Amino acid sequence: MGEETAPRARPRRRGRTAALICTAAVLGLVAGTCTGYLVQADRKPTRLPSPVQPLAAPGEGEVPKRLPAAQDRRVRTDGDLRELLLKKPRGARDLAWPEGGDGWMGLAAYAETFHRSSEMFESLLHDEFRRAVVGGWSVGGSYSVNIRLIQFRQEEVLVTAEANQSAQSWADEVDSESWPVPGTGDGRAYVHAPGGERGEEPTYTAEAHARRGDILVEIYVGGEKRISKKTILDLAERQMERL
C-alpha cells in the first residue's frame, strides 16, 4: 500500500487588509497589479453518440419536465459568472481601482492576493481552478465592498470546503468577532478589531467566507468606521441567495 498523503496547506493571504485592495478610495490602498485576465475555458464538450446507434425504446410513465433556466442552478453557474455577483446598490459608486477591469480575475491575479503566491498558483491548478470574477463598490466615505466568486472544475464539495476552511482559519487568528452565515452550513462572517499604524487613523475591516457547490464566495469590507455585524451578514446572505 502507498504512503498516505498529508493534506496540503494553502498559503496565507497577504496580511489582514491586503485582500481589501478595493478600499483604495477610503483607506489609501492601491490595488495589486493583475498579471492578466485568464478567462478559463469551459469543460471539454462531451462526445456525442454515434448517429447510427439505435434509439432506445421509450420508457413507461411521464417524462419529468426540465427546470426552467431561472430555476436550474447549473444553467446559471455555467453562464456569465459576473451576472451572479451582488449588484451595486443605489447611490453607491464604482471602485476607483477595481481588481478586474472587466469583472474577470485570472488565476495569476487571484494567486497574488496570497503570501507565497507561486505555491498558491500551483495549489489552485491542482484544485482545478476554473475562473473567478470580482465586483464591488464604495458607499460615500463610509466603507468599500469587494466580492469575489471563485469557481472550480471539480464538482466534489471537498475542494470548496477546503478552501473555505483555509480562509476561515486565517480569519480566526485575527482579533475579531464572528458569526455563522445563515443558510450556508459552514459559512462565516467576521468583524475585525481596528488596525493601522500608531499615530494614524484606525482602519476597520470585515469579511465573510462561504461556498455553494463548486463556487467559493469571499467578501471584504473596509472603511474608516466600524463595520457592523448587520452589514457584513446582510451582504453575505444576499450574495448567497444569488447562487
Question: One digit per residue, pLDDT tens: the chain, 243 residues?
Answer: 444 444 455 665 554 434 433 333 333 333 333 333 333 334 344 443 333 344 445 555 565 565 555 555 666 678 899 999 999 999 999 887 777 678 999 999 999 988 889 999 999 998 899 999 999 999 987 899 999 999 998 765 566 666 666 666 656 666 779 999 999 989 999 999 998 777 788 899 999 999 998 999 999 999 998 999 999 999 999 999 999
Q: What pLDDT, on the 0 to 100 scale, is given for residue 161?
A: 67
pTM: 0.69
CA 135 to chain centre: 10
Q: What pLDDT, on the 0 to 100 scale, is given for residue 243?
A: 92
Give the integer Cα–Cα distance in Å for 132 and 202.
31
Give the integer Cα–Cα distance in Å for 120 and 214.
18
In the structure grid, which three cell numbers stand for residue 202, read together? 484606525
Q: What pLDDT, on the 0 to 100 scale, is given for residue 113?
A: 87
Q: What pLDDT, on the 0 to 100 scale, is given for residue 98?
A: 72
Q: What pLDDT, on the 0 to 100 scale, is given for residue 35?
A: 31
Q: What pLDDT, on the 0 to 100 scale, is given for residue 8?
A: 52
**Local structure of 241: helix, strand or coil:** helix
Q: What pLDDT, on the 0 to 100 scale, is given for residue 37?
A: 30
Q: What pLDDT, on the 0 to 100 scale, is given for residue 96?
A: 76
| Sequential DSSP letters for 68-100 | PTTT-HHHHHTS-GGGGSPPPPTT-B--SS-SS
